[in-house]
Structure 1
Amino acid sequence: MIQPYVTLDIKNEVGYIEFFHPNRNSLPSEILFLLKQSIEEAGKNEAIKVIVLKSGGDRTFCAGASFNEVMAVNSPEEGRVFFSGFAHVINAMRNCPKIIIGRIHGKTVGGGVGLIAATDYCLANTFASIRLSELSIGIGPFVIEPAVSRKIGLSAMSQMTIDAETFFSAEWAKDKGLYADIFEDTETLDIAVKVLAEKLSKYNPEALSRMKSVFWEGTCHWDKLLLERAEISGKLVLSEFTKKTLKRFR
């Protein structure tokens, strides 16, 4: 079995950050930490002008939080620390001075939708449906809500949250503004991502950085807000309802 990883590769002034976990690209604490670290590293690296966020494998972009790790939480503090990992990654993406392009090649659930929403521009294939399943397991998408609502609006965010057992199509996600464009297959998607990233890498980096600051205006309070939301999730995950529900997915 391939081991989990997060890599950062530089090609033609584009930094490609790729994460992988054998359990459908789920996000345990270790992967979240490495993602945050790689995003911050890429943001400081002068050889990188634009960043692409992608995942490995050929079917699922991200399965969200690691159920095994969530089930192992035994205290509110442990829960807070785990869900804070998502807060740290989203804030790292928000604070990164470089444009981040998302390359979404398959289904995405829960916290993975938050990662997509935190990109600055996102391209996907037709298989890239999305779901916010948190309410169905007894918690809620508290940490990622600000990022998702900012991108698709509170109404669409509410629809996904309430209809927690439904996958919303890539076409729906494009219509709501989560994806800028969708492509028939992964090969075409990869070509589009490469062309866009390398084109942007030739633009004035100062202009790109300042424009990104404009994109994220009014979000400075997220450093505190997302951690407060992590505390809510950390408490709810200890509920008998959630523990019982998660056992069914083991």
Structure 2
Amino acid sequence: MKAAPASQKRLLDLAEVDSVLDRLAHRRRTLPELAEIDELAARVARLATQVIAAETEAGDLAREQSKAESDVDSVRVRVERDQKRLDSGQVSSPKDLASLQSEIASLTRRQGDLEEVVLEIMERRETADGQVVKLSAERDELAAARAAAEDRRDAAFAEIDKELGEVKTKRSGVAADVPADLLSLYEKLREQFGVGAAMLQGGRCLGCRTSLSIADVNRIKAAPHDEVIRCEECRRILVRTPESGL
């Protein structure tokens, strides 16, 4: 391939612009906020699951407490009813009187037992409700931290994207100075190796950092100035400049 020396040297400007684009793209991909957001999102999801479990437990205990309190009320009503019968003097038979007193005593014990059950459930429910409040607060705090990290990420994206737009505009201007066939080769090599062209400096390829052999240096010296030279080691386009040591 043939190309004017000035066009070949323009490839170095293009490679420099492309290196800036690569750095910006890498910076965009590796923003610290991205890892932070992923970690916070995972923690928020775990806490959300824990909150649901805690809310379910608290709800179950609330229903259990309601049932236990209903049982207490039912027994209390029976005790009050029997006590009224006893106090009214309607029961005159000694046997029936003893039976009624025994039932009242039994119901009173039953009421006491049920009230203890209610107290125990209330304690468990209080603990469960406290856990719901605690986990919900942690979840909300982490969600707020994630939202703040997303804001920082978006601000960084906007800054990087603005710079990317400016550099891409500059690249278009540089690429317009390179002949189509040479540009096509450069783009192909850049896709393969990350860098499509490198300077030959002091007999050394700055693309792969390999020092050329004497035979290669002599071959390049003998080549016409408009011939497009490739590094034998990395196959990138070697651009000759006054610093090439030829």
Give the TM-score taking structure 2 as reference length.
Answer: 0.18
Give the TM-score taking structure 1 as reference length.
Answer: 0.18
More strand by share: 1
More helix by share: 2
Name the larger-Rg structure.
2
